[in-house]
Structures are given as structure tokens and as C-alpha cells.
Amino acid sequence: MENKFFAHPTAVIDEGCEIGEGTKIWHFTHVMPNCKIGKGCNLGQNVVISPEVILGDNVKVQNNVSIYTGVTCDNDVFLGPSMVFTNVTNPRSAINRRDQYSKTHVGKGATIGANATIVCGHDIGPFAFIGAGSVVTKTVPAYALLVGNPAKQIGWMSEFGHRLEFNPQGQATCAESGENYVLENNIVRKV
């Protein structure tokens, strides 16, 4: 049976992986056993996908990204160059903690910028935007914009990736899409 995805000849794909139609896997990337990769994904050069990772459809993984066991990503997630997830909170070389992996879930449409680090056990909400170089040490709400080390929330982002400026009534409009958003009780939703 012919693959419905593309894998560069230098890519290594272990047994037991499910890879969706139209996905592209580039140079020196390793997809480890029992991963589920959705349709239309792009895994850049030198990417590592550890066992049992789940990626939804249209996930873009840029070069040099490591996605460790315990991570799941919904559809349309963007993982910037050299960003990394962790999966153990207190690693030691001499102590095996494979039975203590923490889980991290990245919601639909979220963006994680280049060189960011996501400390395990902290989910990233849908359409959140993590700035380049940020170190995320807590759970991130939907549509939140975080930057820095440790990452701090400095605003909100639209689904098109633009800053939302809320008026005193808690209403904002995306500059590109014209879609409207409401901020109530520190929760953003699209209307």
C-alpha cells in the first residue's frame, strides 16, 4: 500500500505510527512508535516526535522541535523553530521517571513561538499565543498572549493572530477578520 504522506528519505518513522494524508515529514526527523499525526501536517527538519504523541490536522512543526510523550496538540497548532516541551518536572539522569510523565495539551489554533519552552503539566488554551523565547510555567487561557521568562500574560489575541484591544464594555474586533470578541470575567470568547 502506498503512503498518502511524504517522508524525506532521511526521516525515520517507527512501526505503529498513524500518519494522515498530505502530511510532510522532512530531513532527519524521527517519528517514534505509536504516534498519531493528523492530515496536512508539516514536520520540519530535525524534529523528534516521541512515542504516543498525538497531533491533530494541519499542525505545523518547525525545525528542531522536540515533542515528548504526554503532549497532545489539537488542529491548526503552530510550533515555532526550536521550541520544546518537557515531560518530567524533576529530571535526574540516574533516576528513571518514565512512569511520571506529565501531560500537556495544546488547544486548537494555538501558536508557540521560536525557542519557547513549555514546562510539562501546563495546558495551552485554544488560540493562545506564546511569544518567542517565553518559558511557560502555568496553564494558559484561550486567546491569551504571553511573553517572557517566566511567561506573563500581556494581552489577548484574535484567531487571526492580532492583538485585541477591549473597550470598557469588554468588546473588541480583530483588525484583519472583523470578527468580534467579548471579555467577561477574564475569559475571552468569539461572538
pLDDT tens, position by position, 43-94: 999 999 999 999 999 999 999 999 999 999 999 999 999 999 999 989 999 9
- According to DSSP, the β-strands at 135-136 and 117-118 are parallel
Strand partners, 184: 187
The predicted-structure confidence for 118-158, as pLDDT tens digits, reads as follows: 999 999 999 999 999 999 999 999 999 999 999 999 999 99
Tell whether the model's pLDDT for residue 1 goes beyond 70.
no
Element (H, E) at 36: strand 36-37
Of 76, 71, 65, nearest to 126 by C-alpha is 76
pLDDT at 127: 98
Tell whether the model's pLDDT for residue 189 goes beyond 70.
yes
Q: What is the mean pLDDT of the chain?
A: 96
pLDDT at 3: 79
Of 93, 88, 53, nearest to 74 by C-alpha is 53
164-189: average pLDDT: 98
What predicted TM-score, i.e. pTM, was given to this entire model? 0.95
pLDDT at 187: 97
CA–centroid distance for 70 within its chain: 12
pLDDT at 100: 87
Residue 22: which pLDDT band, with cuts at 50, 70 and 90? Answer: very high
Strand partners, 156: 144
Q: What is the length of the chain?
A: 191
pLDDT at 10: 98
pLDDT at 2: 67
Tell whether the model's pLDDT for residue 185 goes beyond 90.
yes
